[in-house]
Each structure stands twice: as C-alpha cells, then as structure tokens.
Structure 1
Amino acid sequence: MSVLVLGTVGYGWSRLHELNKSVRGGDVIADAGPKAPDGATDILLVGNDSRVNAQGEQLSENMLRKLRASSDGSANNLTDTMILVRIPDGGRRASAVSFPRDTLVDLDRFGEHKLNSALARAQAAAEQRLRGRGVTGAELARKSRTAGQKFFVSTIEELAGVDIDHYAEVNLLGFYRLTKAVGGVKVCLRRPVDDSEYSGAVFPAGPQVLSGSEALAFVRQRHGLPRGDLDRVVRQQAFLAGLANKILSAGILGNPAKVSALMDALENSVTLDKGWNIVGFAGKMRGIAADDIEFSTIPVRLRGGEVVAKPKRVERYVDDLLSGRTDETDRPTRSGSAEERPGGTAGFSGTSGLGGDRAAESETGARESAEPGVEQRPTTADDVPCVY
C-alpha cells in the first residue's frame, strides 16, 4: 500500500531515484511491464510476518517486543496480507482486491495448503535444493527467497487469472516504521477488543489514531473476531484506506520533513521487483485521489472452519472487478442489516468477499446467510469505516 501512494508525493524526487536503486528484490517478475489488454498495471502488494530487517538479519529481542512479535522461527515468511492492485492506463483510479491468508489452494507440487504458506514452502524447498548444490550464505538466502517469491506470484496469477507486472513486499518492521512516519492512521472500532494474549490488540470502541506496534496489533488481530481472518482482512482494508487518505492529504504532502521520513521508512522496509521503475510509476500515480482507490475481497466460503474458494469464480470476480465491470449475481454479499452483519456498520463500505447461494459456517460456528442480491459498496480511501 505504501507503494500505491508513492506517486502522490510532491517532494523529494531525488529521494525516489535513490529508493528506486536501494529497495530491489530478485527477479521476481520474469517479464516486467503492463500485460493487461487495456495497458493497466497489476501490482501484488504483500505484508510478510518476517522477523528480519532489510539486510536479512534477525531483529533484536527488544525490537520484537516493540512489534509484539515472538521470535519463533516457525511463524516466519507467512504472507499474511495479499492485495492485488490494478492501476488503469493513465492512472484514473485504482482497484484493490484482498486474498484471505487462510484460503485453501492447490500449491502444485506441495498439495493443498493455505495461501499464505506458498512463499515459505517454495523458499524452503529451494533452499534445500540449493544447499545440495553447495550454495551457502547470502547467495543461498537471496536465491531461495527469490524462488519462493516467484512461486507465490505464479500461485496468485493462476488463482486470479491475471499476469502480475510488479511485486512489492513489506515486513513487520517496515509496517511499524511506515505508520510512525505518517504520524498514525485513524481507525474506528465497533466495540472494545482485548487480544493481549495473541496480537496485543487492546483498544476501546470508537475512532482512534494508531501507529507503530498498535497499528500492527490492529491489522494482525484475528482471535476474538466474529469471522476470524475474514474480519482481519476487513480491518486491513480499512487501515490501508485510512493510510492512503492520510498520505494523500495535505498534512503529509505539505510537510517536507514528513515526506522525508516516509521515504526513509520505505527505503528501509520495502522489497520491489528488480524491473520496476518506481520513479516512472510515481509520475503515473500522481493523478489518483483518495476516493479513486477501492478495496474488496475475493469470494470465499467458510466450510467447517476452513476458508475455501472456487478458482473459476475467483478469476471471474477479479476480472470483472479490475476491469470496472459488475456482475450482480457474483458480487460479495451478505444479508441482514448493517447492525447484524459481522464486519459491517452503518456507513461501512467494505466488502467481505463472503457470498454464495446457501448459508456458510463461520469460524465461530455461527451461521450467516449469504443470499445473492444484497450489495455492499467497496471500501474507498476517503472512508474511515467502523469495523470489528
């Protein structure tokens, strides 16, 4: 998301040139450049729970405490936030669609697993293979990481039926620094939460401004939410909408010191694919306003506690959404009033992605109707929706 709003920055073009050179990833995208029929650019934005810094070094115990993250290596490299963004040719607007991390997908040679494990599984397999060839040290880390990212990109491409042009990844430390740099983001909770045992999210109900470790806790919480990870996705969309609105506002763009701090945060935290000219992309993005960015979620179904998706339906939905078309029979829907819907409130414009023609079983065991024909508008970056 930080990359999505780069183009609005009116200061520091020299810093953008520096950024373009310093936050390079591997050859994640084999054939960079817009491939959509209309010349649009498709970008995969990834939030990774990695406990390392930009140089691949393990974070200190003190920093992990600030991030409210454990040092348990088993949790590393899970892609807990996955958002596909399309910027039409000319930069008139942006559409963003989320992929719930727990969605079960066919990971080719690895079998059926949760989507968020694709990168980690492919990276581990590549590391084992490369070790057998005598590759070690920094070269091993770089090549195995690139292999994991490539596999992950191809998995999203196959599921969504798109050709991804660019890849951007931010880890826990990067998100922490970014939210600090912008001075926090306004969010709104429908009810107080206390998830001190897991994410560290302890917040009152109502509007509030969060940054740093509190912002991380807000977007990472899934325990105690009516629909678990699906409601976490709604939170992430609401937060990113607020972040985009904050960066697009005069409060950030009119303050050179804040812009410089934002550039520092991005430079130390974001991994971009090797072929991405971020300076050229920034110029393309300058015409997008807050209300021209919309968020939604792929259609999924809860089945006995598992999140499942039909690839053909996902592909059709993403194609319609990113192309600006609508299909009333396949929009993410949920029946009930705003006060009854988990994740929805009066004035909340986020879509859950939970739809279909029969009742679905949520992670909490509750039944919720998903009848067709009940429409919700996508979240836009000029909203501050109240969420669970």
Structure 2
Amino acid sequence: MIGMDSRTDAQGNPLSEEQLRMINATAVDGVQNTDTIIMVRIPNDGSKAYGISIPRDSYVDIPGYGTHKINSAYLRAKNQSLRDQQNAGVTDRKELERTANREGAKNLIATVEQLTGASIDHYAEVNLLGFYDITNAVGGIEVCLKEAVKDRYSGANFKAGPQTIKGVQALAFVRQRHGLPNGDLDRVVRQQVFMSGMARKVFSQDMILPGSEKLAALQQAIKKSVVLDEGWNVIEFAQQMVTFTGGNLEFLTIPHGRIDLETGDGSAIEIDPAAVRAFVEGLLRGKTSADPPAEAADQKPTVTVLNASGRSGLARDVSAKLQTAGYTTGEPGNSSTRSATVVRHATGEEAGAKDVARALGGDYPVEPDANMPAGQVKVFLGEDYESAGQSLRTGDLLALNGAQQGPACVN
C-alpha cells in the first residue's frame, strides 16, 4: 500500500489549480516519491492482520540501482523507463506515463520483496487527491494529539486533544514531519494511527456492505484516485472480509538502526536487511512467545515484554526497541504493578538474559524461572524503567483490541 507524493490523478492527468489548492499543494513541490510504504498481510483465516510500515528514508538496496533511500525506488525505475521509451521513439505522453508508472511500481515491489523476504500479491497506490477523497467518503477519523501543532510545510494546524479530521486536515495530519521530535518516524506513527482508526471505522460500521450509504462515495473515490494492480477489485476483496474487525489489525514498523545515517542521498535511516527479514518472517508465521527457538541455544532469545509500570503503552514501545536491537519479541502485555524492573530467563540461560537487560539500557537484575521454556525471556517493566533514547513511540498507537474508547494521543 503506497502513498504517492503525486500531483496527478489515477489516470496520470495533472491536478487542476483548484484541486491543488484544495489539498494544500502546488504543482512543483512533489517529485512522485513514495513517501508512505506499508506492507499489509491479511491472512485467509480471518486471524490477526499486520500493517508493516517501511520508513521512506530507509537506506536499502534497490535492484538495479544500488543502495538508496527506498522512497526513490519507484521514481528511479520510472525515469529510466521514460528515457528508454523516448529513445525507442515513443511519443504519446499518456502511453509514456502508463508504462513508466508500471515499471516504477514493479521496481518498488521488487525492492520491498528483497528487503522483507515476503511475496507481494497486490498493489494499491493512492495519491494526495485520493487520500483527500477517501477520508471525506468515510466521514473522517478521530485522532488525538498531545500538544497543539502549527506547521507551515504540511499545513497542519491542530489543537491538543481528540478531534475528528478528514479531507485536507487528514492530509496535513499524516504528512507533517517538521516539528516532530523524531521527524519521519513520528510521521509513520501518525499514519499508522490514522490507518488503524480508518480500518476500525470502516469494518465496525459495515460501511462496505452492499446498500451502505457511504459505499457509493467510497467506490467513486477509489475509482478516481487509487491505482490498483490489474484485475483486483478492492471493494469486492474488502466485502469478503465482513467478519474482519479493526481490532484484528495491528500496525508495526520494521526494525532500524540510527536515524541520521549520512549517505550520498543525505541523512537516512540505517537498515539491517537480515533483521527486517527475521522480523517479517516472525509475523508471517504468526510467531508468539510460546514458539520454540528456531536456531541453536546461542541464538538471541525470544523476548516477551510485560508492562508492570502502570504507564500506558510502555510494553509495546520496549518491544519495538528490542526488535530494533535484533530480538524477536512475543506479544506485549500487562502485569501486576511492581516497583523494580526484572528480566527472567530459563534455567541455565542467564547470559542471554543479561544481554537483554543491557539492550534495555539499564543495569536491571536477571533471575531464573524454572517454568520458563528454553530460549525465552520475560521482561517485567517496573516503575523504575527509564525509556530514554526510545526513538519510535509505537506505544502511542491506537489501542486496537477494541477495549479503548478513543485514540491514544500522539506527538
């Protein structure tokens, strides 16, 4: 699922001046980079689905073009196709664009497949106008901000607290990165919050069932501004998922290293492809904390983080931090409040537990647990846990289990 920084509609026609003003954009401030990249895995059996965000500045290998920021994969292949077609004598502008866009999408898919180890079955690309139209069609999504923001670049101008947004406001909300503590990573969190809220609203209110008042508007918005792979009727696909609920969808972000890696393309996000593939493979297999270790005993243990601090979302934050450090994590959860953080391990596996404690960034005690399976570690986050240095605030995502009455507040 791609969010395209594009000033054209789904047929490649340039947006009018009126449309550009409507979405708070100009004809020259977009270069058709893929600034939102989310790989969505929807299982056939109706079990939990995952949306895996790949930050746009992830520094990865792009097949045929070397190592660059992933958001340039589409444009590099598109521009090469335009040159090749023009050299071959093709002059029809629409044909040039259609073929070039197809090559751009193919190269981006190949890049994501190589990075994640997953096979991509379908492709959906939405541009700025399409996002605007779709959010209007569903009637807006409730979000919550910790603090008021005003950003001239994206047009974001919001008060603090919960609010329902759509159209140009929704675009500004998911596009803002200037003025956020962690820049594009915080923007990724905003996108995840918005998309999870949209999924919860669409599926919980039967918006896509035949006869729904909003279905026609949603179909029109998708037809006008969303590019899909050939033959894929996304509305029919969604209608087959009528038993699916927003609570069965969780958004995560691929593990990453430093966010200020200096490259020939400017500052980028450091990516370890092996860690990304291991992370994605664990999700595709439905791996849980009860699964046995896949390798020998010296492999990093699988870590399950339990929040015993009383602070909302901390277990998920710390799980993301451990994933960045190369650990496979179980489903985060809660535990009875305790004052001190502790790391518990299987008998004879103290060394691995100490490594986990160091990865947490503190001198936390480790202790054996005779009931712990081999290759497993449990972290109980106490009131003493300090989360300094945590770059990705995934704990600020919406609660997707249906228990929360409203969205959690984000930066």
Give me the TM-score of the superposition, normalised by structure 2.
Answer: 0.72
Higher-RCO chain (CA-CA 8 Å, sequence separation at least 6):
1
2:61 counterpart (79, 103, 106): 106
How far does the alpha carbon of each residue in 1:175-206 deviate from its partner, in whole angstroms, 9 at most, with x for none? 000001111100000111111x2000010110
1:321 aligns with 2:283: yes
Mapping 1:241-280, distance limit 5 Å: 241-250=196-205, 252=207, 256-278=212-234
Contact map agreement 1:182 1:262 (CA 8 A) in 2? yes
Cα gap change, 1:299 to 1:379, in 2 (>3 Å): farther
User: Superposition pairs for residues 173-188 of structure 1, below 5 Å?
Assistant: 173-188=129-144
Identify if the C-alpha distance between structure 1 residues 386 and 117 changes in structure 2 by more than 3 Å, giving closer, same or farther: same
Match of 1:140 in 2: 96
Matched, 1:209 2:164: yes
Aligned partners of 2:316 and 2:394 also within 8 Å: no
Find the counterpart in structure 1 of residue 8 from structure 2.
Answer: 52
Counterpart of 2:278 in structure 1: which amino acid? R
| Contact residue 397 and residue 410 of structure 2 kept, 8 A | no
Q: What's the CA shift string for 1:111-138, capped at 9, x where partnerless?
A: 2211111101110011111110011222
Q: Distance in 2 between matches of 1:134 and 1:232?
A: 42
**Contact 1:176/1:213, CA 8 A, preserved across alignment:** yes
Contact kept, 8 Å, 1:253 with 1:259, in 2: the verdict is yes
Partner of 2:408: 385
**Partner in structure 1 of residue 356 of structure 2:** none
Q: What CA RMSD, in Å, does the superposition of the two structures yield over aligned residues?
A: 3.2
Distance 2:315 2:18 in 1: 37
State yes or no: 1:120 paired with 2:75.
yes
* Pairing partner for 1:306 from 262, 268, 290: 268
Residue matched to 1:281: 237
Separation (CA, whole Å) in 2 of partners of 1:241 and 1:93? 13
> How far does residue 270 in structure 1 lie from its aligned partner after superposition?
1.3
Take 1:139 and 1:319, find their aligned partners in 2: how far apart are those partners? Answer: 38
With normalisation by structure 1, the TM-score equals 0.76
- Residues in 1 aligned to 2:251 and 2:318: alpha-carbon distance in whole angstroms: 8
- The one-letter amino acid of 1:369's match is G
Answer whether contact 2:255 2:275 (CA < 8 A) is retained.
yes
Structure number, greater radius of gyration: 2
Rounded to whole Å, the distance in 2 between the matches of 1:329 and 1:200 is: 45
Question: In the alignment, which of 54, 72, 78 is matched to residue 33 of structure 2?
Answer: 78
Q: Which residue number in structure 1 is paired with residue 127 of structure 2?
A: 171
Kindly state the Cα deviation for residue 370 of structure 1 after the two structures are TM-superposed: 5.2
List runs of 5+ in structure 2 lacking aligned partners. 261-266, 290-299, 326-358, 362-386
- One-letter amino acid of the structure 1 residue matched with residue 71 of structure 2: N
Corresponding letter in the other structure for 1:102: D
Deviation for aligned residue 1:89: 2.0
Tell me what 2:154 maps to.
Answer: 199
Aligned partner of residue 58 in structure 1, secondary structure: coil
* Equivalent-residue separation in structure 1 for 2:234 and 2:206 (angstroms): 23
SS state at 2:38 partner? strand
Q: Once the 2 structures are TM-superposed, how far is the Cα of residue 245 of structure 1 from its aligned partner?
A: 1.4
Aligned residue in 2 for 1:32: none
